Amino acid sequence: MSYIAIHVRYLSITIILLFTLAGCSQTTFEDYLGGWEVKIESKEVFNFNITLNAMDKSKVYLQIEGQSSTTRLQLEQQSNQIYNGSYKNQLNVKVDLREDIPIVFFKIGHHLCAIEITEQKEGIWIGQWNLLITESAPFTFLMSLDINEDGSGYASIFFEEPTFHYMYADDFKLDENGFSFIDIRSRIEFKAQFQYQTIDLEMKFLEEKIRLKLKPRPVSTWQLGTSNNLAKTSYNKDNTRFKSLVMDIENDSLERTHSVVIAQKNTIIFEKYFDGFSANTLHDTRSLAKSFASASIGIAIKEGFLKDEYLPIKPFFERSYPAIDWSKGKDSVNLFHLMTMSSGIDAIDFGLNRNSYANEGTYQNQTDWTKHILEAPMVNTPGKSANYGSGSPHLLGPILANQIAEELPFYLHKKLFKPLSISNYRIQLTNQSEPYFGGGWYFTSIDLVKFGQLYLNGGNYNEKQIIPKEWVEKSMQKHVVLENTFDQNKYGFLFWHKTYQINEQQIESIEARGAGGQYLFIIPELDLVAVITSGNYTNNKGFQPERIMQDYILKEIVKLKP
Is pLDDT at 62 greater than 80 in this prediction? Answer: yes
The separation between CA 72 and the C-alpha centre of its own chain, rounded to angstroms, equals 28
SS3 of 545-557: the string is HHHHHHHHHHHHH
Q: What is the pLDDT of residue 562?
A: 40
pLDDT at position 238, please? 52
Q: What is the DSSP string of 118-140?
A: EEEETTEEEEEEETT----SSEE
Q: Kindly indicate the confidence band of residue 484, based on its pLDDT and cuts at 50, 70 and 90.
A: very high
What would the mean pLDDT of 332-344 be, rounded to a whole number?
98
Distances in Å between the Cα of 121 and the Cα atoms of 4, 70, 455 are: 67, 21, 37
Task: Give the model confidence (pLDDT) of 132-163 as tens digits.
Answer: 987 766 789 999 999 999 999 999 999 887 77
pLDDT band (50, 70, 90) for residue 229:
very low
Contact 300, 403 (CB under 8 A): yes
pLDDT number for residue 3:
35
Categorize the per-residue pLDDT at 524 as very low, low, confident or very high, splitting at 50, 70 and 90.
very high
Amino acid 136: pLDDT: 62
d(CA 428, CA 138) in angstroms, rounded, equals: 27
Q: How far apart are CA 137 and CA 179, in angstroms?
A: 27
Contact, 370 vs 358, CB < 8 A?
Answer: no
State the pLDDT at residue 494: 98
Per-residue pLDDT at 224: 79
Q: What is the pTM of this model?
A: 0.92
Backbone CA torsion sign across 302, 305, 307, 312: negative
- Tell me, what's the pLDDT at 235? 44
What is the crossing angle of helices 445-456 and 290-302, to 10°?
Answer: 50
Sign of the CA dihedral 481, 483, 489, 494?
negative
* Residue 538 confidence (pLDDT): 83
By mean pLDDT, which of 4-13, 255-264, 374-383, 450-459 is the weakest?
A: 4-13
Q: Judge whether residue 234 has pLDDT over 80.
A: no
Q: What are phi and psi of 84, to 5 degrees?
A: -125, 155
Share above pLDDT 70 across residues of the chain, in percent, rounded to a whole number = 92
d(CA 551, CA 474): 30
What are the C-alpha distances in Å from 15 to residues 18, 24, 444?
Answer: 10, 21, 44
- The whole-number pLDDT of residue 18 equals 34
What is the pLDDT, as a whole number, of residue 227? 62
How many angstroms separate the most distant Cα atoms in the chain?
89
The 10s digit of each residue's pLDDT in 263-292 is: 999 999 999 999 888 999 999 999 999 999
pLDDT of 232 above 60: no
Task: Calculate mean pLDDT across residues 552-559.
Answer: 92
Whole-number pLDDT of residue 26:
61
Average pLDDT score over the chain: 91
